[in-house]
Structure 1
């Protein structure tokens, strides 16, 4: 029965961890808060801060030199395209440079791109710089996730991956406000200098982390053909992350416009409440993942996200708006690290980098594609309707995941990654 339960919770690896802990509760926990883990978490947060400072301010900079709305959309969207594309070359980058050096190159590219925005005073230069920034960010985010999953003890991976993202989650709320304040007070030159400085600090903290020597080596499992581009074992979690990305894209792109449509003032409070609840979810759900398995986090998180989206589809008051924000934050804050950790546990250590690339590419594709498709639907039936459609995407997510769990339980999985 324990074996079946283990498969139902997400796979034999997770089951082994739970059973070992219960059989021998006196076993001392493996250390999580090592120097390398702490320094990389700080470095990741610093890298994210530079990115988030530019989200509300870069469109203003482009508009300032005469960029049209369409050109602004093209420049901002090119970031995701280049980040997705570069991740297909993760294995080649690691084999040439090693994991640590590849991460450092990603940070350096981000630093050069952010500093370069100052001179990108026409559409062509801004587009080129934004593409370069996407390349660096795509490398760095993939390598952070890969390296951290290598240094976190396997029995505490859910907890560790949840904690690792806390800094970047906090700065997701603070950095945009800081960016706007810097622009209003000192101008774009200082903004780009501050954002570039955050990347310099990310580089320094990464260098000082004293990562294990094995992470510097030029070693990564390569497979012929598509195996160099996509990790087959990660396909099913990637499909789920794509569905999650569709819902995230709809919220990030249109929630402020929804607030205007239903006459709710102060839409910025939505992101403050949502980010606070993402932070809270990450503090709690990692341990649940390690003790009980991914299903105990993913399914409740999906149900809460569904409730949040349904509230948005009917929202008519500020209170309901904030309740939706809380549900959205708790749902996505639970689901994202759980899906990523579950995916990492499904692959061998030498395939984690390409698995992370597969996961992030699916998520980014969902965010970008969801924004496009839902934007078209919003033009036809209003902004509230797209959250009803997004809620149905969550229903599809839940149904697919439950089917996977049931078939794993009875050993007849046709969806097994």
Structure 2
């Protein structure tokens, strides 16, 4: 009986992980290529910025309606809706011969991606045994890491050697495979029963699950630092006269992959502190080294530290949030996590970009190191406070029993 309960690598978990990988591949393949496409269609650098901003805004917006969607369709069919929207967007990009059409499709893609990412993370938690949740979510995230490593380069290669039409066909095929794997999974058709109080939750409660305010703060700080790397690392390499900035992402992806093979088990056996604390320190050191990088060796060292830190913190905070809520609130926890990551990414891109304009790109990573220092101190304070609260509660119980 124990073996059955603890089994992780079930058919549904494997298919679900593969499906998520294909969905993210269809997203990452467009990151370096759609900006080129929009410029070819007569767009401007402002339109390139809108391309990302609209997508992120729509992904955040749709998560406000997560509870409504689950109540009406259930997790299973609401996830299908998200994946179908991603499929429609990928298929329709080939018809987007003008900038307004392309930006309109980014609305559709953003809505679908916001639904899908929230529901994938929530449902996979139901498929993983509680005793192996950290390990399982770590393995589940490897698919996303694989997509991040392969899809952008594949997209550029297709555009360089074939055409944008070929790119859109490959992206569409990726979304079809995601849907196909999803249909082969035995996902229960459960519908979350929302109480009247939950249905009338405030705007802030829809953005952030009330029980996860502290964890949401950590995700926000983490997201700000991610935004600095994703948007400015190539420019830092130029400023520091480092060739081949793409090597940063290759090393980073490898280290993310390796970290997820180990840290999930530590999370399950020891608890979140044993993962988040060292992961935060490694992540912080990565920014310190990155800010001072003047050679490829230092650049790759920073990449390795960043990758190990990212691969440790991301699934650990996400799993911690899932563990703190009942099953019916896991979708809300997932929406909270991704909302804070996306908001942090957006805020970080704007604020850090303004900082770079005045002080140079290295300043972005000094600032990111400071932000992760705040992250670290906040988490240490949380641990200390939790221990004191536990001690006070035990003392109160003993007093009552005397």
TM-score when scaled to structure 1? Answer: 0.90
Q: Does 1:247 align with 2:203?
A: no
Q: Matched residue of 2:42: which SS?
A: coil
Query: Retained in 2: the 8 A contact 1:91–1:220?
Result: no
From 290, 294, 311, the counterpart of 2:268: 290
In the aligned structure 1, how far is the partner of 2:259 from the partner of 2:33? 29
In the aligned structure 2, how far is the partner of 1:97 from the partner of 1:203? 17
From 36, 53, 71, the counterpart of 1:60: 36
In the aligned structure 1, how far is the partner of 2:22 from the partner of 2:139? 15
In the aligned structure 2, how far is the partner of 1:75 from the partner of 1:160? 33
Q: Which residue of 2 aligns with 1:21?
A: none
Q: Which residue of 2 aligns with 1:352?
A: 330
Q: Which residue of 2 aligns with 1:325?
A: 303
In the aligned structure 2, how far is the partner of 1:377 from the partner of 1:124? 31
In the TM superposition, residue 228 of structure 1 has moved relative to its aligned partner by: 4.8
Q: Matched residue of 1:342: which SS?
A: helix
In the aligned structure 2, how far is the partner of 1:133 from the partner of 1:55? 13
Q: Which residue of 1 aligns with 2:395?
A: none
In the aligned structure 2, how far is the partner of 1:71 from the partner of 1:316? 33
Query: Retained in 2: the 8 A contact 1:221–1:351?
Result: no
Indicate the RMSD between aligned Cα atoms, in angstroms: 1.4
Query: Retained in 2: the 8 A contact 1:299–1:398?
Result: yes
From 342, 350, 356, the counterpart of 1:372: 350
Q: Equivalent residues in 2 for 1:93-108 (5 A)? A: 93-108=69-84
Query: Retained in 2: the 8 A contact 1:310–1:387?
Result: yes
Q: Equivalent residues in 2 for 1:396-411 (5 A)? A: 396-411=374-389
Q: Matched residue of 1:251: which SS?
A: helix
Once the two structures are superposed, residues 213-251 of structure 1 have per-residue CA deviations (whole angstroms, 9 ceiling, x without a partner) of: 2xx122243413224553111221111011001111001
Distance 1:229 1:271, change over 3 A: closer
In the TM superposition, residue 355 of structure 1 has moved relative to its aligned partner by: 1.1
Q: Equivalent residues in 2 for 1:119-130 (5 A)? A: 119-130=95-106
Q: Which residue of 1 aligns with 2:396?
A: none
Q: Which residue of 1 aligns with 2:125?
A: 149
In the TM superposition, residue 137 of structure 1 has moved relative to its aligned partner by: 0.3
Query: Retained in 2: the 8 A contact 1:182–1:190?
Result: yes
In the TM superposition, residue 75 of structure 1 has moved relative to its aligned partner by: 1.8
Q: Which residue of 2 aligns with 1:221?
A: 194
Q: Does 1:208 align with 2:208?
A: no
From 179, 190, 212, the counterpart of 2:155: 179
In the aligned structure 2, how far is the partner of 1:305 from the partner of 1:126? 36
Q: Does 1:260 align with 2:233?
A: no
In the aligned structure 2, how far is the partner of 1:360 from the partner of 1:270? 24
Q: Does 1:382 align with 2:355?
A: no
Query: Retained in 1: the 8 A contact 2:208–2:216?
Result: no
Name which of structure 1's ranges 357-366 and 122-131 shifts more when overlaid on structure 2: 122-131
In the TM superposition, residue 170 of structure 1 has moved relative to its aligned partner by: 1.1
In the aligned structure 1, how far is the partner of 2:207 from the partner of 2:274? 31
Q: Matched residue of 1:54: which SS?
A: coil
TM-score when scaled to structure 2? Answer: 0.94
Name which of structure 1's ranges 124-133 and 372-381 shifts more when overlaid on structure 2: 124-133
Q: Which residue of 2 aligns with 1:19?
A: none
Query: Retained in 2: the 8 A contact 1:309–1:324?
Result: yes
Query: Retained in 1: the 8 A contact 2:282–2:306?
Result: yes
